[in-house]
Amino acid sequence: MLIGPLAAATQRIRVGSGGIMLPHYSPFKVAETFSALSGLYPGRIDLGLGRAPGTDGLTMYALQRDRREAAPDDFPQQLSELLGYLNGDLPAKHPFARLVSTLPGLPERPEPWLLGSSPQSAIWAAELGLPYAFADFINPGGAEIAALYRQQFKETEAMPVPVVSAAVWAICAETTEEAQRLAASARMSFRCCVRAS
């Protein structure tokens, strides 16, 4: 919701999503929304795409596309469909192929980024020639995963070299002690308690 107002209030900075969790959305709806933003703010819109539910179980269920049964784990297919809309190369036999030309922001397109914290997300980003944003605040083992992404990267015309960014926790305070105190709650959120049996 804030991408449009932020882009409207600025002139040069890139603005984008810190995580459209694609399993919650129709690939076409995401393509339409970010195509429109790209048309309004050419060359400045990023589309960060993630696979994780991004929330607790109840909220995930409330966001689910179809509640009659558990949501399928079809992220690779969703991602492929979304990129097909954005790149204009959905296969001609795809049932929604004719919708490619209906995106409202054409010829402008957002720059897609794959978000992740695992080797699998790095592999997908590399195979698709996408920039990769690594969630170091979730998994501090990012150096090896970023190296895997770089090793397996397949260049494209739009992305000739691998691009990695790291999302980290940053706590600022007047003193080191205060910063440590403020950071304690974030550290606690990633610990789990094991109940003795």
Q: Check: CB of residue 80 under 8 Å from CB of residue 51.
A: no
CATH number reported for the structural domain that contains residue 28 in this entry: 3.20.20.30
**Would 101 be classed as within a structural domain?**
yes
Residue 196 domain flag: no
- For residue 51, give its domain range: 3-189
Identify the burial level of 119 via C-beta atoms within 10 angstroms of its C-beta, where 0-12 means exposed, 13-18 middle and 19 or more buried. Answer: middle
What is the DSSP code string of 122-157?
HHHHHHHT--EEEETTT-S-HHHHHHHHHHH----S
Q: Would you say residue 194 lies in a domain?
A: no
Per-residue pLDDT of the chain (197 residues; tens, 9 = 90+): 899 999 999 999 999 998 899 988 899 999 999 999 999 999 999 999 998 876 677 777 777 767 777 777 889 999 999 999 999 999 999 999 999 999 999 999 999 999 998 999 999 999 999 999 998 888 878 889 999 999 999 998 889 999 999 888 788 899 999 998 888 876 666 554 333 33
Our count of domains for the chain comes to 1
Residue 197 lies in a domain: no
What CA–CA distance (Å, rounded) separates 89 from 132? 21
41 is a domain residue:
yes
